[in-house]
A and B are shown apart, each in its own frame.
Chain A
């Protein structure tokens, strides 16, 4: 079942923060986050496994709340290069990744 992402779109000014959420009705084993720029392939950001761990690199981090079956992606002090569509892919049991519809992020100067 496809995870639900929110918001569908967000516009930020450089330096502002954003949170993108990904929710599933299924018990998840892992959540994968990708960013895709227009006309390009999705680029991997991070994987979170069940256990509620939080990961991050640079100014992008994510958490996984196993009880709520929800993951959140945190972008702090956004840069123009953060613009793109962010997808979460969820895995429940021994099943292929199911991707959400994406959150379109636009960072403006």
Chain B
């Protein structure tokens, strides 16, 4: 049973560049979540999908951030015009359909903006 995978694992970019991350959830999971985690903090919710529908977005998700899950399978998170404050670990998690179902996290993508 393969778990949640994320690509790339590390990304270094210059301020102002665009970056895109990919998440592949566990195959039978309908829900997919994106979180951001900075040093010394717990994961902070960014957005989540139920199948292909994006159901909720955090106010943390500025208009420079966009997420898609086009066919209800993998998802992408794009950050445009990156800023140094965007440096963080971006975690993806997936779960079955219910809100109390366990969320399984991927290994994360560590973004460093220079």
Contacts and interface: CB of A to CB of B under 8 A. Distances in A.
Interface of A: 2, 29-30, 32, 34, 40-44, 47, 49, 87, 89, 91, 94, 96-102
B43 A42 contact: yes
A30 to B, nearest CB: 5
B47 to A, nearest CB: 9
B108 A41 contact: yes
A33 to B, nearest CB: 11
9 contacts: A32-B102, A41-B108, A44-B103, A44-B105, A91-B99, A96-B56, A99-B42, A99-B44, A102-B41
Interface of B: 4, 33, 40-45, 48, 56, 58, 91, 99-100, 102-108
A32 B106 contact: no
Given A30-B100, A91-B100, A96-B56, A41 B45 contact: no
A42 B105 CA distance: 6
Contacts of B45: 96-98
Contact of A96 (B33, B40, B102): B33
Contacts of B107: 40-41
Contact of B42 (A40, A43, A47, A89): A89
Given A97-B45, A101-B40, 8 more contacts: A41-B108, A42-B43, A44-B105, A87-B42, A96-B45, A96-B56, A97-B103, A99-B43
